[in-house]
Amino acid sequence: MNIEAYIESGVLESYAMGLCDEAEQMDVERLCKIYPELQVELDRIQADLALYAQSHAKKAPGHIKQAIFDEIESIEKPVAKIKIHSKNEVFQEEEKPSIFNNKWLIAASVTMFVLSSITNVILYSKWKDANQQMIALNAEKSLLAENTKHNQVKMDLMKNEMQIISSPEVAKVMMKGMVKSPESMAMVYWNKNTREVFVEVKKLPPPAEGMQYQLWAIVDGKPMDAGMLPMEPTDSSLIKMKDFGEAQAFAITQEKMGGSPSPTMTEMLVMGGI
Amino acid sequence: MVKSISKYNDEQTLVLALKAKDKHAFSYLYDNYSDALFGVINRIVLSDEIAGDVLQEVFVKIWKNIDNYSREKGSIFTWMMNISRNAAIDQIRSRQYQNEAQNQSIEDFVNDIDKTEQTTSQVDHIGLKEVLTKLKPEHKILIDKVYFEGYTHEEISQELDMPLGTVKTRIRAAMQHLRQILNVQKT
């Protein structure tokens, strides 16, 4: 810092004459502590001003000194009075001014407490609501996630099925309802290359008690067992069946649990030919 | 004006005694500085009666607030001088307000001060007054307006028709001039 320039700026004189604002005052005081030469210059300026002020000296009226001392005595008196009083009175005297202050303090504290309590209650209930909402949202989220996963699996299966169904090597055989159940319908998908056979139940009444559906492949006019349909529906609507060589037609009959070696013709529900 | 032989010949000792609420020290302080402070107050309020009231107020303030004084604020006189100056300026400002005399321009007010100047500076302890007649009038006016009348930078700039940016350096120049005169006087 350029001390000379700072001194030349006249800021020290302005400070000594009470012309500086608060920020400037703090600057001067701070810098004077750091740079002794500034403090020396400031001291000189103050000394010059003191001399200048003293050149205006005028005899003060004689009665003023006594008046000042009287006033100082009266300021100190209440303190002296308390000292003479008994302990109880001292307590009271000291208490009086503070009660007034305490009133406000107590009022302020109570107000603050009440306000803060109200705020707490409001915030707590808001927090509770928010918490419940969050729990509900979380549950909804995991449900959605599960559904999504479920749908994903379903979609994969459907894609798989679609591939099977749409493949040009796969023969599609529609089995239509017979007299026993005209509404029923089922599909057989038969890949001649891989020899894979799938059955898709479009509509079949639930099997009677102790009975199960069985698929038959009609090869050269003879029914061949092509496997049992599951009792319960599975996620996959395509059910893989047994391999059977060249077939001309398919049929589903209702047989006793576990299947029969030959179909019960009266219990035939659907049939279709290639 | 400062008594040469005293038990408070050291300012630090005096301040310590004052901070201990020593009334002898306070009496000594009054005896040594009241005339200088009264002169300054009178120079500002332009009335012996009002200046007496302000002087009393100032010394009571000094007694009450002596703990606030520290060496960093300058000499004890500088500190008391600032209290006096501020009390006097407050007094005339509140009086002006009460009397609704705001119509009186600062210029008129300064002229009033100048008229009474001869009567207020009657006491001349160390021949300072004579020496200070050597101070250039423009420097004297500047110092008086700032130091005694509490003009702000803006007021000085307007009243004395000088650019705001030059006020501080002009004050410095005036103070340098004052220092020269005082140095000559001391030697």
Q: Is residue A68 part of a domain?
A: no
Angstrom distance (rounded) from CA A239 to CA A227: 10
Is B120 in contact with A58 (Cβ distance < 8 A)?
yes
Q: Name which of B86, B150, B169 is nearest A9 (Cβ-Cβ).
A: B169
Nearest to A239 by CA among A204, A211, A193: A204
Last residue of a domain, one of A147, A166, A185: A166
Phi, psi of A228 (to 5 degrees): -95, 145
Strands A170-177 and A197-203, bridge-based pairing: unpaired
Q: Name which of A10, A53, A72 is nearest B36 (Cβ-Cβ).
A: A53
Give per-residue pLDDT as tens, B65-111.
999 998 877 889 989 998 999 999 888 888 766 664 445 445 455 54
Give per-residue pLDDT as tens, A88-116.
444 444 444 555 667 788 888 888 889 99
B39 touches chain A (CB under 8 A): yes
Q: What is the DSSP letter of A125?
A: H
Residues of B in contact with A71 (CB under 8 A): 56, 60
Give per-residue pLDDT as tens, A222-233.
888 888 888 765
pLDDT class of A234 with cuts at 50, 70, 90: low
Percent of chain B scoring above 90 in pLDDT: 41
Find the farthest-apart pair of alpha carbons in chain A and give their distance in angstroms, rounded: 150
Q: If contacts are CB pairs under 8 Å, which of residues 68-107 in chain B contact chain A?
A: 72, 74-75, 77-78, 81-82, 85-86
Q: What is the ipTM of this complex?
A: 0.78
pLDDT class of A158 with cuts at 50, 70, 90: confident
A43 touches chain B (CB under 8 A): yes
pLDDT class of B134 with cuts at 50, 70, 90: confident
pTM: 0.51
| Nearest CA distance, B3 vs chain A (angstrom) | 14
Q: Is residue A63 part of a domain?
A: no
Percent of chain A scoring above 70 in pLDDT: 89
- On whether both A99 and A138 belong to a single domain, the answer is yes
Answer whether residue B2 shows pLDDT above 60: no
- On whether both A157 and A186 belong to a single domain, the answer is no
Average pLDDT (B135-153) is 89
Residues A145/A160, Cβ–Cβ less than 8 Å: no
Q: Give the model's pLDDT for residue A221.
A: 79
Give per-residue pLDDT as tens, A159-212.
877 887 788 888 888 898 888 888 888 888 888 788 888 888 888 888 888 888
B20 or A92: which leads in pLDDT: B20
- On whether both A144 and A180 belong to a single domain, the answer is no
Q: Give the model's pLDDT for residue B126.
A: 53
- On whether both A181 and A162 belong to a single domain, the answer is no
Q: Name which of B35, B75, B178 is nearest A58 (Cβ-Cβ).
A: B35
Residues A166/A154, Cβ–Cβ less than 8 Å: no
Percent of chain A scoring above 90 in pLDDT: 16
Last residue of a domain, one of A136, A166, A196: A166
Q: Give the model's pLDDT for residue B148.
A: 86
Q: Give the model's pLDDT for residue A210.
A: 86
Q: Total domain count for chain A?
A: 3
Q: Give the model's pLDDT for residue A247.
A: 82
Nearest to B107 by CA among B54, B161, B59, B65: B161
Helices and strands (DSSP H and E) totals, chain A? 6, 8
- On whether both A162 and A178 belong to a single domain, the answer is no
pLDDT class of B51 with cuts at 50, 70, 90: very high
| Nearest CA distance, A87 vs chain B (angstrom) | 26
Domain ranges of chain B: 1-104, 124-187
- Supply the mean pLDDT for chain B: 80
DSSP string, B99-142: TT-TTS-HHHHHHHHHHHHHHH----SSSHHHHHTTS-HHHHHH
- On whether both A83 and A174 belong to a single domain, the answer is no
- In the numeric block, the tokens 């179909």 are attached to A263
- Supply the mean pLDDT for chain A: 83
- On whether both A257 and A190 belong to a single domain, the answer is yes
Average pLDDT (B130-142) is 85
Q: Give the model's pLDDT for residue B175.
A: 93
Q: Is residue A82 part of a domain?
A: yes
- CA atoms B6, B11, B13, B16: torsion sign: positive
Answer whether residue A11 shows pLDDT above 50: yes
Tokens of residue A44, six digits:
């000189």
Kindly report which listed range (A193-197, A260-264, B175-179) carries the lowest average pLDDT score: A193-197
Answer whether residue B129 shows pLDDT above 80: no
Last residue of a domain, one of A139, A166, A193: A166
Q: Is residue A66 part of a domain?
A: no
| Nearest CA distance, B94 vs chain A (angstrom) | 19
Q: Name which of B59, B85, B132 is nearest A55 (Cβ-Cβ).
A: B132
- Look up the domain containing A38 and give its range: 3-54
Looking at domain B1-104, its CATH class is: mainly alpha
CATH architecture, domain B124-187: Orthogonal Bundle (1.10)
Is A18 in contact with B1 (Cβ distance < 8 A)?
no
How far are the Cα atoms of A7, A114, A243 from residue B176, in angstroms, in the given order?
11, 65, 122
Q: Give the model's pLDDT for residue A91.
A: 45
| Nearest CA distance, A123 vs chain B (angstrom) | 48
A78 touches chain B (CB under 8 A): no
**Could you tell me if residue B124 is left (phi over 0), alpha (psi between -120 and 50 degrees) or otherwise beta?**
beta
Q: Is residue A8 part of a domain?
A: yes
Q: If contacts are CB pairs under 8 Å, which of residues 120-179 in chain B contact chain A?
A: 120-126, 128-129, 131-132, 143, 146-147, 150, 152-153, 168-173, 175, 178-179
Q: Is residue A91 part of a domain?
A: yes
Q: Name which of B39, B72, B77 is nearest A58 (Cβ-Cβ).
A: B39
DSSP string, chain B: ---SS-TT-SHHHHHHHHHTT-HHHHHHHHHHHHHHHHHHHHHHH--HHHHHHHHHHHHHHHHHHGGG--GGG--HHHHHHHHHHHHHHHHHHHHHHHTT-TTS-HHHHHHHHHHHHHHH----SSSHHHHHTTS-HHHHHHHIIIIIT---HHHHHHHTT--GGGHHHHHHHHHHHHHHHHHHHH-
Answer whether residue A86 shows pLDDT above 60: no
- On whether both A196 and A245 belong to a single domain, the answer is yes
Residues A164/A188, Cβ–Cβ less than 8 Å: no
